[in-house]
Structure 1
Amino acid sequence: MSDHILCKFCGNLRPRTNTGICETCKIDYEHIRTYVTDHPNSIVMDISHATKIPVSKIMTFVRGGHFLLVEGTFAVID
């Protein structure tokens, strides 16, 4: 049994943990979450610009069910 698996968000090889997410994606997720909590009606481009996280990665979190797009703006689900 391997002690490494692929991150479910970025696909990078990472040590096996219970979360299924690598440390980089965990930090990015928290950064996005903090920004969206502080700026509740943000659009994806604003979030990307402010956090320096690519739109594609932000959308991966949306597709993963961690954020909700509401009429072009973001909402936190978790």
Structure 2
Amino acid sequence: MTTDTCLKCGSPMGRGEYSCQVCGENEMQDYQMIRNYVRTYPNSNAMQIANATGISVSKILRYIRNGSLSVVDNPSRRGRS
């Protein structure tokens, strides 16, 4: 079996996989933590989520960019400067 190397930790992984099993599980845990936080505090911004969860703002924004998380416009904040 041919293996590739995980870009995050350098561990071997199956060819064509995005990450090794450990990094994949860590990624899923981070994602679930963010989703749970946003369900509880739906009007949070990326900085608030990062401060509460310990997950970097860049990772949160990556989830938004790749479509895993959505940004919802908050009508109560329209028109504020």
TM-score per shorter chain, which class?
A: 0.5 to 0.7
- Identical-pair percentage: 35
TM-score when normalising by structure 2: 0.64
User: Which residue in 2 is equivalent to 1:54?
Assistant: 56
**In 1: Cα distance, 2:73 partner to 2:51 partner:** 19
Question: Which is greater in Rg?
Answer: 2
* Structure 1 segments unaligned to the other structure (5+ residues): 73-78
Cα RMSD (Å) of the superposition? Answer: 2.4
Unaligned runs of 5+ in 2: 75-81
Tell me the equivalent position of 1:36.
38
Question: Larger relative CO (CA 8 A, sep 6+): 1 or 2?
Answer: 1
Using the size of structure 1 for normalisation, the TM-score is: 0.66
Aligned length: 66
Higher helix proportion (structure 1 or 2): 2
Deviations 1:15-54 (A, max 9, x none): 45xx956111100000000000011111111000000000
Give the structure with the higher percent strand: 1
